[in-house]
Structure 1
Amino acid sequence: MKKIISLFLSLFLTSIVVSQNDNSAHSLLDAVSEKMGAYKNMFIGFSQTLSNEEAGIKEDDELPIKGTIHLQNQKYRLNYLGNQFLFDGNKLFVINHDEKEISISDNDLSGDDGFIYPSKLLTFYKEGYTLKMGAIEKTQGRKIQFVTLNPIDSTSEIVKVELGIDLDSYHIFKLIQTGANTSKTTFTITQFKKNRDLTEDFFTFDEAGFVNKNYIID
């Protein structure tokens, strides 16, 4: 009997989520995921800005933080905030070049805090969010369609995600995360290259090489 009740509740909740989703928004993100996911690999250069109206922080108060990332299936090599994050599909290596320290953890970073990690960039929207078409904006000569994603989990640290899709290329152009503390983090893609010739060991951690450079490995 408990199994029947559990199944009923599961189907009921699923039907609620589906009814709240905008089919056109879901179809658009599916098309973007399919196109970008078909590339052998991707190189993305991005800039990050932060704003918080309640704290009086405006988006242009400070220079944007810049970063780069190579993506290949679930693997990635991210350079961000002076650190390199290398995920080989099984382990994550966080390399602090200033301190010459490296931390290693099994599996990718946890998404429990609501942050969207690189390995989930093209798929995160498929579970845990309701979707709705937003506004269309013209920027830098591009026509950008925004999709608003609201987490189903009311305790999520992220209360809203806005994805800006370039309607000409069907690529992600911008990602805006609004936190529970009203802070807004905006990632804008400034460079994009696909299907680059990468070496076989591009996503492999060179332990011996770092040891020879006197890095401390936790």
Structure 2
Amino acid sequence: MKKMMFNIQKSVCLLMVMLTFSFSSTAQNSEKAKNLLDQVSLKIRSYDNIVLDFKYTVANPDTNLYQESKGNVALKGDQYVLNIMGITRIYDGSKVYNIVPEDEEISISTFDDQNSDELTPAKMFSFFNVGYKYIWDISQNIKGRKIQYIKLKPLDKNNGTKEVLIGIDLQTKHIYNLLKIDKDGTKTTFTINSFKTNQPLSKNHFTFTESKYPNYYINRLD
């Protein structure tokens, strides 16, 4: 009986050690993942501006959805100029200008980029700072670049996103790609093909000039 009790106590102690190690390892991996994301944010903030060329895909096999497009974006702080699917979107820090050449139409609206849940170009390098659980995931060698993936799990259970995978180039500390998986099965992939910094942009690059569009219908939404 004493031998049986000893074996039970020994097993319990071993289990506790294993659980403690598992918890410690998980905590360390989470801290390591957050530290890498912090390095990415710090690197991004060190640039005066960023110019990207990218590929963007949205897919959901259950609904036969598949869209693929290429675009480019220039960023400076919260301001950006985004070109995708034939549409130009300018955010000057207070208003959003959506320019649609095909329809010769422009919509103008006030937009609070800080308080909106929309994943805008300006937020792509900072949205992960709060509201997520961080997991150190797989690493891959892609075209000679070591890409480390960080998995994000939303803390808010009502969030429609299931998880986000961010691929980070360990040498440059730049984001290589981003995969967002929604609970309904929709997968959104954003891959950066060209990453340039501190480009010689004009001082009016992020300013909407109405005189450039004399024949356009302008829809002021507010």
- Structure 1 length normalisation: TM-score? 0.81
Is the 1:178–1:184 Cα contact (8 Å) retained in structure 2?
Answer: yes
Partner secondary structure for residue 42 of structure 2: helix
Q: In 2, distance between residues paired with 1:81 and 1:151?
A: 29
Moved over 3 A (4+): 53-57, 108-112
State the partner residue of 2:108. 104
Q: Which residues of 2 match residues 146-185 of structure 1 at below 5 A?
A: 146-185=149-188
Which structure shows the bigger proportion of residues in helix conformation?
A: 2
How far apart are the structure 2 equivalents of 1:179 and 1:20? 27
Matched, 1:216 2:217: yes
Matches within 5 A, 1:69-218: 69-108=73-112, 111-112=116-117, 115-210=118-213, 212=214, 214-218=215-219
Separation of aligned partners in 1, 2:61 and 2:101? 34
Q: Deviations over 1:96-147 (max 9, x none)?
A: 11111111111245643xx421111221111221111111011121110001
Are 1:67 and 2:75 an aligned pair? no
Counterparts of 1:123 and 1:168, CA distance in 2 = 19
Contact 1:93-1:103 within 8 A present in 2 as well: yes
Native 8 Å contact 2:151 2:165 kept in 1: yes
How far is 1:20 from its partner? 10
The answer to whether the 8 Å contact 1:20/1:130 transfers is no
Q: Deviations over 1:27-66 (max 9, x none)?
A: 1011011112211101000001233344466xxx77x410
State the Cα RMSD in Å.
2.0
Identity score, percent: 36
Task: Give the SS at the match of 2:136.
Answer: strand
Residue aligned with 1:22, SS: helix
CA positional deviation for 1:186: 0.8
TM-score normalised by the chain length of structure 2: 0.80
Aligned residues: 192
What secondary structure sits across from 1:198 in the alignment? coil
Q: Give the SS at the match of 1:86.
A: strand
In the alignment, which residue of structure 1 is the partner of 2:46? 38
Which of these two proteins has the greater Rg computed from alpha carbons? Answer: 2
Higher mean C-alpha deviation, range 125-134 or range 37-46: 125-134
Contact 1:92 1:108 in 2 (8 A): no
Deviation at 1:177, TM superposition (A): 0.8
Structure 1 residue corresponding to 2:36, chosen from 28, 35, 51? 28
Give unpaired runs (5+ residues) of structure 2.
1-26
d(CA) in 1 for partners of 2:29, 2:147: 20
- 8 Å contact from structure 2 (residues 165, 180) kept in 1: yes
How far is 1:77 from its partner? Answer: 0.4
Residue segments in structure 1 that go unaligned for 5+ positions in a row: 1-18
